[in-house]
């Protein structure tokens, strides 16, 4: 995939192929201001290309809807392994940080400690997304990418997912986030700096 990522000053610019052989699309995000953005994508293939383009950047962490976990590892191992490569903290420090983040997320049937002891296949859709968010938080990204997190959720679970961005900006007030969603009539309203229609 030919992805163009440029960073000039505080602008992160991403060019990605909208479709095979088509003109590339461009998204520009202002960094270090604490802004939230949204990208509404018309097709699943364009969405995959956009999220893959963000994933190529060392600045971004993606929260995927299915969690993106290794199935034969406990959730806890899935959380700390990526973080151990990205940040200079030992396992005990990561454990404390993960517990703190889980406690900020309200309304779950099980505690973060209970979720971490499970295999990924034992988690519900919302629990997978919660654990994936905590994993992304542990790598301390400059850009948090929320990938199609509203699909298949009940209204109270949508509210739980919307809490992710509040918690992200609580810990990292000047970092950037972007919601990437397929164009659906049921998307919740989100206060954002800019919406990109792709």
Average pLDDT of span 125-147: 96
- Measured CA to CA, the distance from residue 80 to residue 101 in angstroms comes to 13
Tell whether the torsion through CA atoms of 108, 80, 172 and 191 is positive or negative. Answer: negative
Structural domain spans, the chain: 4-197
pTM for the structure as a whole = 0.92
The CB-based long-range contact list for 97-102 (8 Å cut-off, 24+ gap) reads 97/137, 97/138, 98/134, 98/138, 101/133, 101/134, 101/137, 101/138, 101/167, 101/171, 102/130, 102/134
Taking domain 4-197, whether its CATH number is 3.40.50.300 is answered by yes
- Measured CA to CA, the distance from residue 131 to residue 119 in angstroms comes to 11
Q: pLDDT digits over 75-133, tens only? A: 999 999 888 777 777 888 989 999 999 999 987 778 888 999 999 999 999 999 999 99
What size, in residues, is the chain? 198
Report the candidate in 8, 2, 102, 118 with the shortest Cα–Cα distance to residue 49.
2
Return the pLDDT at 111.
86
- Measured CA to CA, the distance from residue 144 to residue 178 in angstroms comes to 6
Token representation of residue 53: 């383009």
Tell whether the torsion through CA atoms of 46, 52, 56 and 57 is positive or negative. Answer: positive
Give 3's pLDDT tier (boundaries 50, 70, 90): low
- Comparing 150 with 4, the larger pLDDT belongs to 150
Q: pLDDT digits over 160-171, tens only? A: 999 999 999 999
Distances, alpha carbon 138 to alpha carbons 80, 83, 186, in Å: 8, 6, 30
Distances, alpha carbon 10 to alpha carbons 23, 144, 160, 181, in Å: 25, 16, 30, 25
């Amino acid at each position: 995939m030919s992805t163009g990522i440029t960073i000039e000053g505080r602008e992160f610019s991403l060019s990605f192929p909208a479709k095979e052989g088509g003109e590339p699309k461009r998204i520009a995000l202002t960094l270090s201001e604490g802004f939230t953005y949204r990208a509404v994508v018309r097709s699943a293939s364009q969405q995959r290309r956009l999220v893959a383009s963000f994933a190529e950047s060392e600045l971004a962490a993606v929260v995927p809807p299915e969690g993106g976990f290794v199935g034969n590892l406990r959730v806890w191992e899935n959380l700390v392994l990526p973080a151990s490569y990205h940040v200079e903290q030992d396992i005990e420090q990561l454990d404390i940080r993960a517990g703190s983040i889980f406690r900020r997320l309200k309304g779950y049937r099980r505690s973060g400690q209970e979720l971490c002891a499970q295999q990924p296949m034992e988690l519900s859709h919302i629990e997978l997304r919660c654990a994936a968010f905590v994993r992304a938080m542990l790598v301390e990204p400059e850009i948090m990418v929320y990938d199609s997190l509203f699909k298949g959720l009940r209204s109270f679970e949508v509210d739980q997912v919307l809490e992710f961005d509040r918690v992200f900006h609580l810990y990292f007030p000047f970092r950037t986030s972007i919601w990437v969603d397929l164009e659906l009539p049921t998307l919740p309203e989100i206060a954002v700096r800019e919406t990109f229609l792709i």
